[in-house]
A and B are shown apart, each in its own frame.
Chain A
Amino acid sequence: MKTTLRIPGDENWLMKVNSNAEFRLASRWTEVTFVISIDEVSYAYRISSSSISPADLPAEEDPILLQGSKRAWHRFLLDPPPPHHNHVLAMDRRSADFSIVSGRHRLIQNLRTLTIALDLMRGCDLLM
Chain B
Amino acid sequence: MTSIEPIVGRYMTTQIAGRSNRIYFEESGAGKDILCLHTAGADARQYRHFQTDPEIISRFRVVTFDLPWHGKSLPPSDWWNEEYLLSAELYVETVMSVIRALSLDKPIVIGCSMGGSVVLELARAHADVLGGVIGFSGASHVEGRFQDWSLATDVNSNVSVPSWTYPLMAPQSPLEARKDVWWIYAQGGPGVYRGDTYFYSAGLDLRGREYEIDTARCPVYLFTGEYDYACSADETLATIAAIPGAKGGKMKDIGHFPIAENYPLCREYLLPALDELGRRDTP
A interface vs B, CB < 8 Å? 26, 80-81, 83-84, 86-87, 89-90, 93-94, 105, 108-109, 111-112, 115
Contacts and interface: CB of A to CB of B under 8 A. Distances in A.
A115 B167 contact: yes
Given A80-B172, A112-B160, A115-B163, A86 B155 contact: no
A40 B15 CA distance: 59
B229 interface: yes
- Secondary structure at chain A's binding surface: helix, strand, loop or mixed? helix
Contacts of B156: 109
Given A80-B172, A111-B160, A115-B166, A86 B227 contact: yes
Contacts of A108: 149, 155, 160, 164
10 contacts: A80-B171, A84-B227, A90-B167, A94-B229, A108-B164, A109-B155, A111-B163, A112-B160, A115-B163, A115-B166
A49 to B, nearest CB: 17
Nearest to B232: A94
Contacts of A87: 167
Nearest to B167: A87
B229 A84 contact: yes
Contacts of A86: 167, 170-171, 227
Nearest to A84: B229
B149 A90 contact: no
Nearest to A114: B163
A83 B164 CA distance: 17
B113 to A, nearest CB: 15
Contacts of A90: 167-168, 227, 229
Interface string B167-183: 11011100000000000
Nearest to A22: B179
Given A108-B155, A112-B160, A83 B167 contact: no
A90 B160 CA distance: 16
Interface in B188-230: 226-227, 229-230
A84 B229 CA distance: 6
A82 B232 CA distance: 14
B175 to A, nearest CB: 11
A5 B170 CA distance: 32
Interface in B100-157: 144, 149, 152, 154-156
A8 to B, nearest CB: 25
Given A83-B226, A86-B227, A109 B167 contact: no
B7 interface: no
B159 interface: yes
B229 A93 contact: yes
Nearest to A94: B229
Q: Among B155, B159, B229, find the residue whose CB has the most chain A CB atoms closer than 10 A.
A: B229
A81 B167 contact: no
A34 to B, nearest CB: 15
A112 B163 CA distance: 5
A92 to B, nearest CB: 9
A109 B155 CA distance: 5
A10 to B, nearest CB: 21
Given A84-B232, A93-B230, 14 more contacts: A26-B159, A80-B171, A80-B172, A87-B167, A89-B164, A90-B227, A90-B229, A94-B229, A94-B232, A105-B149, A109-B160, A111-B159, A115-B163, A115-B166
A89 B169 CA distance: 12
A115 B162 CA distance: 12
A81 B171 contact: yes
A5 B116 CA distance: 46
A90 B168 CA distance: 8
A94 B256 CA distance: 15
Contacts of A81: 171
Contacts of B160: 108-109, 111-112
